[in-house]
Amino acid sequence: MHLTAADLLAVERELCRRSLAHFAKRAWHVLEPAAELKWGWALDAICQHLEAVTDGQITRLLMNVPPGSMKSLLTGVIWPAWEWGPRGMPEMRFIGTAHEETLAIRDSRRCRDLIKSEWYQKLWPLELSKDLDGKREFGNVRKGIRQARAFTSMTGVRGDRIILDDPLSADNANSEAKLEAARIAFTETLPTRVNSEKSAIVVIMQRLHEKDVSGVIQEMGLPYVHLRIPMRFEPVQRCMTAIGWSDPRQVEGELMFPERFAEEQVRELETTLGSYGTAGQLQQRPAPRGGGILKESWFRYYTVLPRMEFRTIHADTAQKTGEENDYSVFQCWGRSVIGEAVLIDQIRGKWEAPELLVQARAFWIKHMKVGGSVLRSMMVEDKVSGTGLIQTLRREGVPVIPVQRDKDKISRGHDAAPFIESGNVLLPIDAPWLSDFLAEAASFPGGAHDDQLDPMFDAIKTVQAVPASQVQTVVPIPMASAFGRR
């Protein structure tokens, strides 16, 4: 059977209509004529889920993949061109957005270049609008539009498809202001930009922080189909999605895309990013297993309180009491006779100024009544709500010491880490708040809260102020082996 040129074109059109992945492979030579295409199952997974959006199976899609996974090219460049051409949907209106408008414009231009290419026009002739061919948007004569906007500046546009590609840069991942701006844009602006209930929102990003847009989606329980592909396979967190897809890997540590990222290259990336960066950007879980700066395995535990030299109370008072704000915390710490920092007791809550004073006073009185070692002082950060607390308690005769924290939290975490790693910090194994404390330590500095850690850093600094010759280093004892339970 001899196939004519028209037959071959018809076969190519049909293969591209059936498969976004096939279309992507064929479009590669137009977009990257000098580069070799490396393809893997992870790219098939992204295409499969975008196809499900096109077919109406999914209207909300969240994809977490490592950088370098062709996410922008597949989602913002190839998919719109596929819907307009092979799938016969030229009326679709796309909004492509990213943390920087220049990135959104880059993908819009590449999409336009693909559609204008000789290869594309030969297979799917589609006239582009001469009146709508600007820097930030272009359209076709069938009313379809491809627009580019910065994520936090999307007013005045609407679409059938909204593509949110990396709403936050890695440089801004630890900025509370940037995280909050992204949260507001995602929850208050983006949902109003869709044309109808059938319109789709596709979020594709690497994880950078517990409170990034992916974290917001998960915390709010929004009905997004979640495709999560970590660089290394973690069997206990195997991803399975609502369309029947499951991570095909079987061996722990197996790479996502060895065709593109070989073992040696991934190891170099992991070294460069460090444990916290690796956990977020590569593994798509911003809190590393076992901890980032602070590892859970470094802490030791006690059932009987060690003999103390002295005790101190350390406080971290929140500026506001809103749902998203930190808690206020009071912790009683002791320095053991061999130089350990021992957490004895803790209270934690969201209290306005009058109640904060009541809690502080009660906690001080409680531990004043406990014998065995002297309760030296209460140490409170001299800032906002803490300043008023210091003044009032001093008038009542409580020996309060104002604390001036001259370093940021991450630096103080690094300062405290060696002391904790040496097994010099003991926690009460039966405390009802222990699990929350350990979870907060494990997610630091990317967790939603860090209020329990600030007073710990202060307490460690107080204990370490004692001459080093008096501090005895001990070998950490894993909780499970020491007491048989957690």
Helices H / strands E in the chain, number of each:
16, 15
Based on the domain organization, do 132 and 33 belong to the same domain? Answer: yes
The model's pLDDT over 114-140, given as tens digits with 9 standing for 90+, comes to 999 999 999 999 999 998 888 789 999
Question: What is the rounded average pLDDT of the residues 142-157?
Answer: 91
Give per-residue pLDDT as tens, 262-306. Answer: 999 999 998 888 777 788 899 998 865 555 688 888 999 999 999
Residue 388, domain CATH: 3.30.420.240
Residues 187, 240, single domain; the answer is yes
With bands split at pLDDT 50, 70 and 90, how would you rate the model's confidence at 248?
A: very high
Choose the final residue of a domain: 201, 229, 254: 254
Q: Of 222, 238, 254, which one is at a domain's C-terminal end?
A: 254
Q: What is the pTM of this model?
A: 0.66
Domain span including residue 365:
296-483
350 assigned to some structural domain: yes
Is 41 within a domain? Answer: yes
pLDDT at 321: 55
Structural domain count of the chain: 2
Which DSSP letter does residue 296 get? G
Whether residues 244 and 311 share a domain: the answer is no
Query: How far lies 365's CA from each of 347, 361, 375, 381, in Å?
Result: 13, 6, 10, 20
Q: Tell me the C-alpha distance between 209 and 5, whole Å.
A: 52
**Is the pLDDT confidence value at 166 over 70?**
yes
Interatomic CA distance for residues 148 and 307, integer angstroms? 65
Is the domain of 157 the same as that of 29? yes
For the stretch 218-234, pLDDT in tens is 999 999 999 999 999 98
Which pLDDT belongs to residue 467? 59
Q: Are residues 115 and 212 in the same domain?
A: yes
Inside any domain, residue 94: yes
Provide the pairing of β-strand 400-403 with 374-381.
Answer: parallel
Question: Do 190 and 248 lie in a common domain?
Answer: yes
> Average pLDDT, whole number, for the chain?
89
User: What backbone torsions phi and psi does residue 457 show, to the nearest 5 degrees?
Assistant: -60, -40
Mean pLDDT of 456-475: 69
Residues 440, 291 contacting (CB under 8 angstroms): no
CATH number at residue 72: 3.40.50.300
Phi and psi angles of residue 379, each rounded to the nearest 5 degrees, phi first: -110, 120
Do the domain assignments include residue 224? yes
Percent of all residues in the chain with a pLDDT value above 70, rounded to a whole number = 92
Q: Which H or E run contains 302?
A: strand 300-302
Indicate the residue among 202, 236, 254 that finishes a domain. Answer: 254
d(CA 176, CA 397): 37
Shared domain check, 360 and 214:
no
* E-assigned strand segments in 114-177: 128-133, 137-140, 145-150, 161-165
pLDDT in tens, 311-347: 999 999 987 655 446 689 999 999 999 999 999 999 9
* 78 has pLDDT over 70: yes
Q: Which of 74-83, 199-208, 329-338, 351-360 has the lowest mean pLDDT?
A: 351-360
Residues 69 and 183 in one domain: yes
Residues 177 and 53 in one domain: yes
Per-residue confidence (pLDDT) for residue 133, from 0 to 100: 83
Residue 272 counted as domain residue: no
pLDDT at 1 over 80: no
What's the chain's Rg over C-alpha atoms?
28
Residue 213 contacts residue 204 (beta carbons within 8 Å): no
As a whole number of angstroms, the distance between CA 359 and CA 349 comes to 9
Q: Find tokens 């297979």 and name the residue.
A: 123
What is the secondary structure of 338-400 as a DSSP string? TS-EEEEEEEEE---HHHHHHHHHHHHHHHHT--SSEEEEEEEE-STHHHHHHHHHHHTT--E
> How many residues does the structure list for the chain?
486
- Residue given tokens 């967790």 in the structure block: 447
* pLDDT tens digits, one per residue of 412-431: 888 888 899 889 999 999 99
Q: Give residue 306's pLDDT.
A: 95
Judgement on whether residues 249 and 316 belong to the same structural domain of the protein: no
Q: Residue 460 pLDDT > 80, yes or no?
A: yes
Co-location of 245 and 348 in the same domain: no
Residue 273 belongs to some domain of the structure:
no
Do residue 242 and residue 316 come from a single domain?
A: no
Is 276 among the domain residues? Answer: no
Q: What pLDDT sits at residue 284?
A: 94
Residues 6 or more apart from 52 whose CB is under 8 A from it?
58, 61, 225, 243
